[in-house]
A and B are shown apart, each in its own frame.
Chain A
């Protein structure tokens, strides 16, 4: 099983600031099978990014993904009020696993 470790656990930022979220895998993630999800309180997760850097339908371009192998990053260039949420990375190989999440909170 591939273990994903996200950091930091909590990110305290102000609207307009840049957010950088990290996701590190215990072994190489095959074929760029890395996704990111956003979850707001009381809601189901929403797909943000697949294949490391491909934005899902309707996701604004302030969200970007990068990385390869075992180190991946989700960047939100300028935080909007609706971006404060919990973010999860996921590898979706044969047996999918999720990271434990990063909470982006208002400072």
Chain B
């Protein structure tokens, strides 16, 4: 069965970077786009960006352009999201979410979420 297992909670200081991983299993890793979505405490869902694991093509929401990087390691079926120049407003749960096929698709499977806390 499809599983997306994310790395554990992180605590970072303002100005630092965080890298969250999402290890996929149970399907052909390179056949499905992967997205990153975040949710601040008590708030709604916010799409950050996506990657095509086949060729590494990425696309990001304008809000995060220049501050987020999404990469993949096909040998371990893992996608990484790195967010830099953290502020307290980046405190959130970060989810990876898989498309059923290419870009322009809904999010069929979700990871369990990773809490990132930014605090001095």
* A residues adjacent to B (C-beta < 8 A): 1, 33, 35, 37, 39, 44-47, 50, 56, 88, 90, 92-101
Instruction: Given contacts A45-B45, A92-B104, A94-B104, list 16 more A-B pairs with CB under 8 A.
Output: A1-B61, A33-B106, A35-B107, A39-B45, A44-B111, A44-B112, A45-B95, A45-B97, A90-B45, A90-B107, A92-B107, A95-B47, A95-B61, A98-B37, A98-B44, A98-B45
A88 and B104 contact, Cβ closer than 8 Å, known pairs A44-B110, A44-B111, A45-B110: no
Q: Given the complex of chains A and B, what is the CA–CA distance between A94 and B57 in angstroms?
A: 14
Chain A residues with Cβ below 8 Å from B107 are 35, 37, 45, 47, 90, 92
Residues of chain B whose beta carbon lies under 8 Å from any beta carbon of chain A: 35, 37, 44-47, 59, 61-62, 95, 97, 103-108, 110-113
Complex: A88 Cα to B47 Cα, angstroms: 13
Given the known interface contacts A88-B45, A98-B45, the answer about A93 and B62 at a Cβ–Cβ threshold of 8 Å is no
Known contacts A50-B106, A92-B104, A101-B44: does B113 contact A44 (CB below 8 Å)? yes
Contact between chains at B106 and A35 (CB < 8 Å): yes
Flag if B47 contacts A97 (CB, 8 Å).
yes
B contact residues around A46 at 8 Å (CB): 110
Nearest CB of chain A from residue B87's CB, rounded to whole Å: 22
Other-chain contact of A92, B46, B59, B95, B105 (Cβ < 8 Å) = B105
